[in-house]
């Protein structure tokens, strides 16, 4: 087992990564302060892993809240179900919420924990690769709005993140690939040696090699923890760098309807769009963009944007959280392994948005 630390002063917390951690009460119980525990999961994950988790909570008053599965249910209406469960059980302020699931369950549970009686404890037990390498660490929580992805939410750090790598054996291949998009992101924004390691090991990762996956998770979480420790609340642009590909990606997710493209798939295409725009700005070479494209394709990820009008892209992108004083700011690459937040000339942005399958090709 590896243990990392997210260094946030008195709110610091451990990330435990290893096989067979789901039933480890010695890792969970030190972070539960009252007797009441609500496990939030969904109808796909609960039948697989709820019993193992509850087995680690004997002696506690454990209730469960099982949500429908899918990004399209990550909204205020379904968030309310968690509050209903808490109130029906008469849970008080020293209760603990545990998120058992992917990023959807984690984002919703964290938001509910932040809001219930003005804030109760919460624990992340992520079960997708994407949630293990990204969404369970760092405290961003929230739900979608019909007019914008992740637009309603708060920062709320968990007490501990328990990453059991065994649960990845039941994850559908498409979801594993979507998680790899966020893994590749760390290499692109700040860790060139990790990018090279991924290029070498992508076949093993896709094949589900447990030790390679554990190593990818460890390196990803190390990168994420370092960024979060330096800029927890995204006050500077540092934490925003984790959003490489997300402004384009969120536009794809919102435009296509939540759930049509997986979040990681939209981020993958979005990262190639960011690389393309970085090339148009003269920062990346065509070879660099090809290197990004090749790795994404080898990871089984989509790289061609959907057919969406430039105006529609721009409309969805205009509600991005990085917009300042009405001006769109994007995460771009000054070099592979070095991301920056920058504005881009509208004509270059439009060229990227209309490039379609010719991303990376200067016309
Ligand atoms: N908070 C953050 O910092 C942050 C960062 C990145 C992404 N996100 C959010 O995370 C969400 C995407 O997360 P996701 O990719 O985990 O999607 P998800 O939560 O929808 O999970 C993907 C699918 O896998 C299933 N699943 C989960 N674990 C499984 C397992 N072990 N075996 C079999 N099936 C399993 C789920 O039921 C679901 O059908 C998006 O809403 C995105 O906005 C948040």
SS (H, E, C) the chain: CEEEEECCHHHCEEEEEECCCCCCHHHHHHHCCCCEEEEEEECCCHHHHHHHHHHCCCCCEEEEEEECCCHHHCCHHHHHHHHHHHHHCCCCCCCEEEEEECHHHHHHHHHHHHHHHHCCEEEEEECCHHHHHHHCCCCEEEEEECCEEEEEEEECCCCCEEEEHHHHHHCCHHHHHHHHHHHHHHHHHHCHHHHHHHHHHHHHHHCCCHHHHHHHHHHHHHHHHHHHHHCCCCCCCCHHHHHCCHHHHHHHHHHHCECCECHHHHHHHHHHHHHHHHHHCCCCCHHHHHHHHHHHHHCCCCCCCCCCCHHHHHHHHCCCCCCECCECCEEEEEECCEEEEECCCHHHHHHHHCCHHHCCCCC
- Ligand 1 binding pocket mutation candidate from 135, 152, 260 (most atoms within 8 A of CB): 135
82 and 158 in a single domain? The answer is yes
Evaluate whether residue 177 is within a structural domain: no
Q: Is position 156 annotated as part of the catalytic site?
A: no
Statement: the pTM of the whole predicted model exceeds 0.75: yes
Q: Specify the pLDDT at position 363.
A: 67
128 and 208 in a single domain? The answer is no
pLDDT single digits (tens) 139-182: 999 999 988 889 999 999 999 999 999 999 999 999 999 999 99
142 and 233 in a single domain? The answer is no
Q: Specify the pLDDT at position 58.
A: 93
275 and 298 in a single domain? The answer is yes
Q: Is position 218 annotated as part of the catalytic site?
A: no
Q: Is position 293 annotated as part of the catalytic site?
A: no
Domain end (from 139, 170, 201): 170
Residue 352 beta carbon below 6 angstroms from any ligand 1 atom: no
25 and 143 in a single domain? The answer is yes
* Closest atom of ligand 1 to CA, residue 149: 43
Q: Specify the pLDDT at position 273.
A: 98
216 and 87 in a single domain? The answer is no
44 and 126 in a single domain? The answer is yes
Q: Is position 201 annotated as part of the catalytic site?
A: no
Domain end (from 170, 199, 234): 170
Evaluate whether residue 265 is within a structural domain: yes
223 and 192 in a single domain? The answer is yes
Q: Which of 234, 265, 291, 316 is catalytic?
A: 234
150 and 226 in a single domain? The answer is no
259 and 142 in a single domain? The answer is no
- In the chain, how many domains are there? 2
Evaluate whether residue 133 is within a structural domain: yes
Per-residue pLDDT of the chain (363 residues; tens, 9 = 90+): 999 999 999 999 999 999 999 999 999 999 999 999 999 999 999 999 999 999 999 999 999 999 999 999 999 999 999 999 999 999 999 999 999 999 999 999 999 999 999 999 999 999 999 999 999 999 999 999 988 889 999 999 999 999 999 999 999 999 999 999 999 999 999 999 999 999 999 999 999 999 999 999 999 999 999 999 999 999 989 999 999 999 999 999 999 988 899 999 999 999 999 999 999 999 999 999 999 999 999 999 999 999 999 999 999 998 877 788 788 999 999 999 999 999 999 999 999 999 999 998 876
What residues have CB less than 8 Å from 148, skipping those under 6 apart?
Answer: 250, 254, 316, 319
Q: Specify the pLDDT at position 128.
A: 98
Evaluate whether residue 130 is within a structural domain: yes
Residue 234 beta carbon below 6 angstroms from any ligand 1 atom: no
pLDDT single digits (tens) 90-112: 999 999 999 999 999 999 999 99
233 and 161 in a single domain? The answer is no
Range of the domain at 248: 185-358
* Closest atom of ligand 1 to CA, residue 49: 31
Q: Specify the pLDDT at position 326.
A: 81
Q: Is position 250 annotated as part of the catalytic site?
A: yes
Evaluate whether residue 363 is within a structural domain: no
Q: Is position 246 annotated as part of the catalytic site?
A: yes
Q: Specify the pLDDT at position 322.
A: 76
Q: Is position 175 annotated as part of the catalytic site?
A: no
Q: Which of 90, 118, 327, 363 is catalytic?
A: 118
Residue 140 beta carbon below 6 angstroms from any ligand 1 atom: yes
83 and 191 in a single domain? The answer is no
Specify the CATH number for the domain of residue 61.
Answer: 3.40.50.1970
Residue 107 beta carbon below 6 angstroms from any ligand 1 atom: yes
Residue 142 beta carbon below 6 angstroms from any ligand 1 atom: no
């Amino acid at each position: 087992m590896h243990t990392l630390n997210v260094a946030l002063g008195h709110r610091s917390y451990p990330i435990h990564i290893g096989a067979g951690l789901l039933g480890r009460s010695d890792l969970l119980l030190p972070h539960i302060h009252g007797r009441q525990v609500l496990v939030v999961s969904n109808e796909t994950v609960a039948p697989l892993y709820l019993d193992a988790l509850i087995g680690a909570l004997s002696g506690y008053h454990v209730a469960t809240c099982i949500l429908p599965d899918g990004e399209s249910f990550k909204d205020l209406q379904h968030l309310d179900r968690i509050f209903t469960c808490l109130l029906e059980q008469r849970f008080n302020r020293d209760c603990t919420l545990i998120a058992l699931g992917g990023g959807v369950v984690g984002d919703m549970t964290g938001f509910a924990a932040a809001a219930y009686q003005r804030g109760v404890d919460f624990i992340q037990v992520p079960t997708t690769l994407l949630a293990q390498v990204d969404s369970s660490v760092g405290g961003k929580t929230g739900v979608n709005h019909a007019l914008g992805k992740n637009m309603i939410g708060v920062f709320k750090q968990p007490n501990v993140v328990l990453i059991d790598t065994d649960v990845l054996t039941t994850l559908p291949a498409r979801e594993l690939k979507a998680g790899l998009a966020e893994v590749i992101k760390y290499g692109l924004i700040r860790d060139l040696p990790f990018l090279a390691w991924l290029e070498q090991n992508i076949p093993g990762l896709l094949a589900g090699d447990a030790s390679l996956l554990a190593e990818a998770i460890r390196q990803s979480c190390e990168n994420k923890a370092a960024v979060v420790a330096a800029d927890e609340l995204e006050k500077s642009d540092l934490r925003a760098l984790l959003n490489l590909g997300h402004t384009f990606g969120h536009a794809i997710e919102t435009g296509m309807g939540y759930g049509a493209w997986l979040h990681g798939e939209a981020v993958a295409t979005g990262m190639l769009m960011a690389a393309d725009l970085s090339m148009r700005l003269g920062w990346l070479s065509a070879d660099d963009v090809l290197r990004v494209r090749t790795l994404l394709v080898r990871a089984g990820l989509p790289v061609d944007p959907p057919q969406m009008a430039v105006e529609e892209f721009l409309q969805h992108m205009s509600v991005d959280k990085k917009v300042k004083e009405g001006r769109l700011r994007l995460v771009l690459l000054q070099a592979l392994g070095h991301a920056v937040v920058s504005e881009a000339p509208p004509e270059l942005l439009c060229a990227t948005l209309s490039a379609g399958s010719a991303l990376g090709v200067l016309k």
